[in-house]
A and B are shown apart, each in its own frame.
Chain A
Amino acid sequence: MRPSTIMQPRVSSAAAIASALAIVGLGGCGSPQRTLARALEQSASSSATMRFVIETWSDRRVPHRYATRTAREIARSSEQTAASVAGSSAAPADRETAARLTGAIAAAAARGAAAIEAGDRAGARTVLPALDSLRAAARSASDALEARP
């Protein structure tokens, strides 16, 4: 009357095998070009998030302490992304473009974070145009890299 008790272990084994294959098969994936595209995408997203934080903080929609902490975190991660791009083994021209954009985004994010920390709403708003244009440039550079074979 008792149903088979080996059915579930089989399922689990199959999942484990599939996972192991995936780990082995994908362990080396991600060309330098693709990694660069992802870094640009990440940087563009950080820029957009920073813009939103400045916008909501300027309009007094989020507390100062939240904006300060989040902006500081975005500035830190943007800097890390820029540093990772500088050490990339991608083609020099691609690397230089990406380094310029991610570096500029990191610098703009740092300016925005400093303005928020100082409680300078007008100063923070002056960073918005730079964040917008850099985000668009980083995204199109990322798309161009992704589209390449």
Chain B
Amino acid sequence: MKSIFKLSLGILTSIAGFLEAGSLGTSLQAGAAFGFRLLWPIALGGVCIAVLTEMSGRLAAVSHHPFAAAARERFGFTYHAAALGAQVLVDLLVLAAEIAGCSLALQLATGVDLRVWALPVTLVLWLMLWRGRFSLIENGVAVLGLVTLAFVVAAFRLAPDWGAVAGGLLPRPPEKDAARYAFLAVGILGATISPYLVSFYSSGAIEEKWSTRDLPMNRATAAFGMGFGAVIAMAALIVAAQVFLPRGIRIEQYVDAAPVLTTAFPRWGFALFVGALFIGCFGAALELSLDLSYITAQSLGWTWGEDQSPAADARFALVYTGALAAAGAFTLIGVEPLRLTLVSMALTVLVLPLPLVPLLVLLNDERYVGRHRNGRLANVAVVAILGLAVVLALVAIPLQILGGS
């Protein structure tokens, strides 16, 4: 049972990688616009993030350093400050998108405008962080996150052509709208291979007091957690492809996608979508708020830990309090969640290369990981991901202009 709960960290992390507002939105948009053709970025992103989280978990378990603290210690503050600043900015924007996503779910459920929900959602998030313990957050979100399995069941119920689905795992350019196709591919990869997943996962490993004994569990958690997220995101894309593409519906806003599950589940589909959107965004918002506190506290050498009382780590609590207030303000002014996520994903892609170099160096430094350092295959994988990240960073903004509208 204890082992099953250890998998929760992987599921919680994957919810913020695959099922938050940006990832779910792009999966639905991609399926509606290009059918199964954009399954491959989800699969590729899933493999990449599983590799990276396994490494950050291994670093934490062996060195007892979370990634941000180790990077700051190993590279010095000047280099690290740039990466920290960029990640704080991206985390804040993505957090704003998640609060908007939760508020939109409540708007869909009640008919009351999402701006009205911004403050209550922000307060509940803050209260959970203020009062809750790490295990409650990770296990609670992981269990509630199982509602997203509705997409998997729906995908089977809609009986797609599985040969065509398999064909989507190989990149194939579309007949038209190549710029939008590329934009969505980059968006999916950017939303999936997010730097905050790496820092959050390693911080979670420290919160759970992992040691070298947990290394096999770390591998299983990274693989299972990210696999879970990738499968659900692929299922969401498949369902959107089955429901929207034949009808010629292009998803411009989240509200357009709300009936996506009603074809497979006529009675409960709408409620299931609302539940999945809310849980995905709520879990991601908790994760992002914590990550902002983690990376700031770890980089500046403050006391940190969700399991400590706010009085014991006041600055840690202050960071998530301020972050939630700032991010909630975006929803209060009425920013459309899907548009906000598209901008935040482009920025995520821009900062993606920043943490990869430190991760590669740290995972080869025996002072941190001893005999558990990367093998040749692992290093090749990180270098390949770094190469991919640099390419994505270079093309993100031009593609946002060409294909983002």
Contact = CB atoms under 8 A, between A and B. Distances in A.
B403 to A, nearest CB: 11
B357 A3 contact: yes
A69 B258 CA distance: 12
Interface in B128-172: none
Interface string A2-18: 11010111011011001
Given A26-B401, A61-B269, A135 B258 contact: no
B249 A8 contact: no
Interface in A70-117: 70, 73
A12 B89 CA distance: 15
B393 interface: yes
Interface residue SS majority, chain A: helix
Interface string A27-42: 0000000000000011
B361 A70 contact: no
Given A23-B401, A52-B249, A62-B259, A5 B79 contact: yes
A23 B110 CA distance: 41
B75 A5 contact: yes
A48 B392 CA distance: 33
A8 B250 contact: no
Contacts of A66: 108, 111, 255, 258, 270
B362 to A, nearest CB: 11
Contacts of B253: 73
A48 B395 CA distance: 32
Nearest to B76: A2
Contacts of B357: 3, 7-8
B247 A61 contact: no
B176 A146 contact: yes
Interface residues of B, number: 39
B312 interface: no
A48 B248 contact: yes
A73 B259 CA distance: 16
A56 B255 CA distance: 14
A56 B259 contact: yes
A145 B223 CA distance: 48
A22 B250 CA distance: 26
A19 B353 contact: no
Contacts of A62: 258-259, 262, 270
Given A2-B76, A52-B249, A139-B248, A59 B398 contact: no
Given A3-B357, A61-B269, A146-B176, A15 B247 contact: no
B390 interface: yes
A15 B111 contact: no
A61 B262 contact: yes
Contacts of B259: 52-53, 56, 61-62
A73 B255 contact: yes
Contacts of B16: none
Nearest to A14: B394
B256 interface: yes
Interface string B103-114: 000001011000
Contacts of A7: 357
Given A56-B259, A69-B255, A11 B353 contact: yes
20 contacts: A2-B75, A3-B361, A5-B75, A5-B79, A7-B357, A8-B82, A11-B393, A12-B393, A18-B395, A19-B397, A22-B402, A23-B397, A48-B247, A48-B250, A51-B247, A52-B259, A61-B266, A62-B258, A65-B110, A65-B111
Given A3-B357, A45-B250, 12 more contacts: A2-B76, A3-B361, A18-B394, A18-B395, A41-B250, A42-B250, A45-B249, A48-B249, A49-B256, A53-B259, A56-B262, A66-B255
